[in-house]
Structure 1
Amino acid sequence: MTATVTRDRRAEHSLSHAQYAAVWFEGRPEVQGEKLTGAHTCDLLVVGAGFGGLWAAMRAKKRHPDWSITVVDADAVGHSASGRNGGFVSYSVTHGLSNALSRWPDEVEALEQIGLENLRGFKAELDEAGIDCGLSTAGKLQVAVQPHELAELRETVEPAGRFGRPLQLLSAEQTRARINSPTFIGGVFDPVGTYLVDPYLLVTGMREYLEREGVVFYEHTPAESLTDGGARVEVKTPYGSVSAGKVILATGASPALLRRNRLAAVPVYDYALATEPLTPDQFEAIGWSGREGLTDTANQFHYSQVTADGRILWGGYDAIYHYGSRVSPELERRPETFRLLAEQFFTTFPQLDVHFSHAWGGVIDTSTRFCASYGTAYNKKIAYAIGHTGLGVGASRFAADTMLDLLGSESTERTALRMVRKPALPFPPEPVRAAGINITRYELARADRNEGKRGLWLKTLDALGLGFDS
């Protein structure tokens, strides 16, 4: 029997009892909120109760305590993207320093400082509100498994340190002393730029706090249409309506309510696994005593962390787009990706003999520039942020303040940023959109196999300021 067949069977066997649900939902019953019926009025309506919407309500209540605030969501709060992600809270509001350097070199220092301040504010505000989300400040280890990746990591140390993040360059031995994998040939440790959370616990904790502060929530209440009513915005829902003085759209990968945003971002599916709780002997075999977050350096990268009950969450790599920007619950289950993730897990940790207890997927709104675009509509009665591209847990707090600035026509450091003033280039319509995304995915994988060398297609996209990622 070949090694490949053995590994494949090991991966398939490890998934034999996995349930199709996010590990964060384990043992936590869904809170049943009511649907909105009849006619309602409020000062601020927030559409979408993921992290973007929740932070918008948090920041609005802090900045405007006299406002009446209503939040509507098309699903149960926390059961879409925000409750399914990997639990990484990044300092960056630009999807990383390299993205900021390539797109807004003249604003990098400000963007990096804003990001670090936002991360510190993220924790301070949760602490002040008494929201327990299992937040950890253990940092993040980014590893290399190929020589060109190690060279890329070395190049990040100097600029990160210059802008306030003292990265620690690690040898193979130092890296494996933290997390022991025979595939790791080096890495960098970032002690300040990443927090880890239980995302569903964070969502529910924010919701409970906001309800105590008088914010009203309606679940299973999609906003179907927006109408400019002059002094107010009229929002239609299936069983009622809301008349709001101001509206924040934080709908993520859901279909855009504003026509202008229908090509601003596309939905892609990201997938993850979680193991059964590891034994003390299994942890001894891999180390990981610091419980830092783990990512690798490839274009198609993985992310991983240890949960509070001792499981390893292992996700990423695939970013799957479906023709026509299709979004549907059945797309959250993709056995071929789960099998691939399991194979990659055992390649990384061959010393572990474990089963996966959970396998799930979630949808991400990705933009051509890898981070959110901002804007207003209806005479600045509506503000929106769209296209976080998978690093929105922390950046959504910055986005909330930015949207509130825009609603109030406030001139701030945030609204002066070119990143805020200029939107991302849109994706093309179908069928060009699907063809372009699939070619890009293929070329990214080819670059990973070819020592990171980017072909003509990727170089052309780089020159145009376009891209695709999760």
Structure 2
Amino acid sequence: MQSTQYSSFWFQEALESEPEIQPRQLETDTTTDVCIVGGGFTGLWTAIQLKMKQPSLDILVIEKDLCGSGASGRNGGCMLTWSTKYLSLKKLYGEAEAIRLVKASEAAVYDIAAFCHAHGIEAQIRLDGTLYTASNQAQLGAMAPVLAALDKQSINAWQSWTKEKVQSESGSEVHLEGHFSSAAGTVQPGLLVRGLKRVAEKMGVTIFEHTPMTAIHRQHTPVRIVTPGATIQAGKVVLALNAWTPSLFPELKHSVVLVSSDMLITEPAPERLSTLGLSDGKSVIDGRTFVHYYRTTPDGRLMLGKGGNYFSFGNKVSAVFDQPSRYQSILGAAFRRFFPALQSVPVATTWTGASDRSATGMPFFGRLADNPSVVYGLGYSGNGVVQSWIGGHILSSMVLEEDNDWTRSGLASGPRGSFPPEPIRWLGAMLVRNAIRRKESAEDGNKTPGWLDKQLSKLAQSAGKSDKG
């Protein structure tokens, strides 16, 4: 077992379940049909989809660390859909495409589970649904507009639960209202991404880890990618770098803002969780802008997370994202509020993940203007476990230049909206974040937030909820 320690509990657990790891590094110049830069969910799903469509393709994946060591191996593991974003989807892409994307995202939950079953990936997938709640009076009724719109199109998978059922099923009396959808689940994301690596290699995909891209000469075809040990010439290139994309490609630096999602996980306490009613794998997400989310694990741990804490200046992927959470006091306060009966259960560890949040709250895919042979995808906005499966369909279709629903989708037309340059972006993010914190703190105490805090908080609504999966 290699000795590197990773801050993510999920990823470290996944590595410890593998036999001796001996990652291959690229040391010899090579050529390939398709080079995928980034070995997380997006890159691996794209490689797998390409191999399923055209088995004869020579596909090479390079990853600067180990596959899954980035956002893919450290998120909350919540398998959620786009159904709650239907109104945003309709505004961005039109009614017909919004309906299609909601249905596709719900189908993807089951497609991922079926893929794992078919290929022997033991990723602790539990299709027990998700529960969206109101955890204070101000959040009551927040889902009503989108549920009415889903009802109108006969695509509403959500059920309204009584307050008593919500509290019983969520394990917390803090929740005052809730809606449940069975089209959701949870997964151990580290096990999933490492499983995808093994499947991709069995399909014939060549993967090199500890092989960062140090330069890309994209003005020519084949594209030339430089790594510390060798050079790659590729007919097509897929940039699956997500949070790392803006720092390497200036044309995309204003398309996302990097923000942390911070998580804690307890030591196993299955009996205590069962006493509270937490006996299955559903996720629970409350109705604030920077959501609280939690779920249990098969061995009886409780994971709780909160998005929207650290905003990176200049979208730099700093050391903060590879360390235990610097917001442990915030996580601890949420844990005590939701679960006063679990205060004696020890916290095993905390960690931090980087989320690339787009201006619309939706991912986007496109081609580099100076070389359409280079395609990219990013901006999952904290909702990428399921959506990266769709990203693999979009990017593989773009690489093969197919004319289908994915290449014609508005998702494949590049970023829609941008953030201002620094330092305005960071200062604005801090202003809005702090206003949201004051507003939601007041609401938790059943107090009326200040007028200015309410107005500033509205600026964050277009990007949707924060990191969960």
Given the two structures, how large is their TM-score scaled by the length of structure 1? 0.88
User: Match for 1:108: what amino acid?
Assistant: A
Q: Which residue of 1 aligns with 2:260?
A: 269
Change (3 A) 1:443 1:424: farther
Q: What SS does the corresponding residue of 1:253 show, helix, strand or coil?
A: helix
User: Does the CA contact (< 8 Å) of 2:48 and 2:203 recur in 1?
Assistant: no
Q: Which residue of 2 aligns with 1:456?
A: 455
Is 1:348 aligned with 2:338?
Answer: yes
Give the Cα separation in 1 of the matches to 2:398 and 2:208: 25
Give the Cα separation in 1 of the matches to 2:205 and 2:252: 27
Is 1:303 aligned with 2:293?
Answer: yes
Change (3 A) 1:40 1:105: same
Change (3 A) 1:366 1:155: same
1:226 is displaced (CA, Å) by 1.6
Q: Which residue of 2 aligns with 1:400?
A: 392
Give the Cα separation in 2 of the matches to 1:345 and 1:234: 49
Give the Cα separation in 2 of the matches to 1:364 and 1:144: 24
User: Does the CA contact (< 8 Å) of 2:289 and 2:460 recur in 1?
Assistant: no
Give the Cα separation in 1 of the matches to 2:288 and 2:252: 30
Q: What SS does the corresponding residue of 2:29 show, helix, strand or coil?
A: strand
Deviates more, 1:294-303 or 1:103-112: 103-112
User: Match for 1:362: what amino acid?
Assistant: G
1:235 is displaced (CA, Å) by 0.5
Aligned CA RMSD, in angstroms, stands at 2.5
User: Does the CA contact (< 8 Å) of 2:432 and 2:457 recur in 1?
Assistant: yes
1:124-171 CA distance string (max 9 Å, x none): 333332322111110001121222312113444333444534211112
Among 363, 372, 380, which residue is 1:372 paired with?
363
Q: Which residue of 1 aligns with 2:3?
A: none
Q: Which residue of 1 aligns with 2:425?
A: 433
Change (3 A) 1:259 1:95: farther
Q: Which residue of 2 aligns with 1:11?
A: none
Among 31, 53, 64, which residue is 2:54 paired with?
64
Among 25, 30, 33, which residue is 2:12 paired with?
25
Change (3 A) 1:155 1:461: closer
Give the Cα separation in 1 of the matches to 2:217 and 2:15: 38
Among 99, 104, 119, which residue is 2:88 paired with?
99
Q: What SS does the corresponding residue of 1:424 show, helix, strand or coil?
A: coil
1:161-208 CA distance string (max 9 Å, x none): 44534211112111122123121112111111x121110110111111
Runs of 4 or more, structure 1, over 6 Å off, are 451-454
Q: Which residue of 2 aligns with 1:143?
A: 133
Give the Cα separation in 1 of the matches to 2:325 and 2:103: 41
Q: Which residue of 2 aligns with 1:338?
A: 328
Is 1:260 aligned with 2:255?
Answer: no
User: Match for 1:153: what amino acid?
Assistant: M
Matches within 5 A, 1:23-422: 23-26=10-13, 28-29=15-16, 31-92=21-82, 96-106=85-95, 107-161=97-151, 162-192=153-183, 194-228=184-218, 230-256=220-246, 257-280=248-271, 282-333=272-323, 336-352=326-342, 353-377=344-368, 378-422=370-414
Q: What SS does the corresponding residue of 1:392 show, helix, strand or coil?
A: coil
User: Match for 2:356: what amino acid?
Assistant: D
Give the Cα separation in 2 of the matches to 1:317 and 1:443: 15
Q: What SS does the corresponding residue of 2:99 show, helix, strand or coil?
A: helix
Give the Cα separation in 2 of the matches to 1:135 and 1:467: 25
Stretches of structure 1 that go unaligned for 5 or more consecutive residues are 1-18
Give the Cα separation in 1 of the matches to 2:52 and 2:126: 24
Q: Which residue of 1 aligns with 2:437?
A: 445
User: Does the CA contact (< 8 Å) of 1:157 and 1:166 recur in 2?
Assistant: no
Give the Cα separation in 1 of the matches to 2:198 and 2:374: 26
Give the Cα separation in 2 of the matches to 1:296 and 1:460: 19
Q: What SS does the corresponding residue of 2:300 show, helix, strand or coil?
A: coil
How many correspondences in the alignment? Answer: 447
User: Does the CA contact (< 8 Å) of 1:380 and 1:406 recur in 2?
Assistant: no
Q: What SS does the corresponding residue of 2:33 show, helix, strand or coil?
A: strand
User: Does the CA contact (< 8 Å) of 2:130 and 2:182 recur in 1?
Assistant: yes
User: Does the CA contact (< 8 Å) of 1:44 and 1:70 recur in 2?
Assistant: yes
User: Match for 1:177: what amino acid?
Assistant: S
1:105-140 CA distance string (max 9 Å, x none): 433212212222333332333333232211111000
Change (3 A) 1:308 1:102: same
1:334-366 CA distance string (max 9 Å, x none): 655112101211110111121101111111111
Q: What SS does the corresponding residue of 2:140 show, helix, strand or coil?
A: helix
Given the two structures, how large is their TM-score scaled by the length of structure 2? 0.88
Change (3 A) 1:434 1:334: farther
Give the Cα separation in 2 of the matches to 1:292 and 1:438: 32
User: Match for 1:205: what amino acid?
Assistant: G
1:315 is displaced (CA, Å) by 0.7
Stretches of structure 2 that go unaligned for 5 or more consecutive residues are 1-5
Q: What SS does the corresponding residue of 2:243 show, helix, strand or coil?
A: coil
Deviates more, 1:348-357 or 1:146-155: 146-155
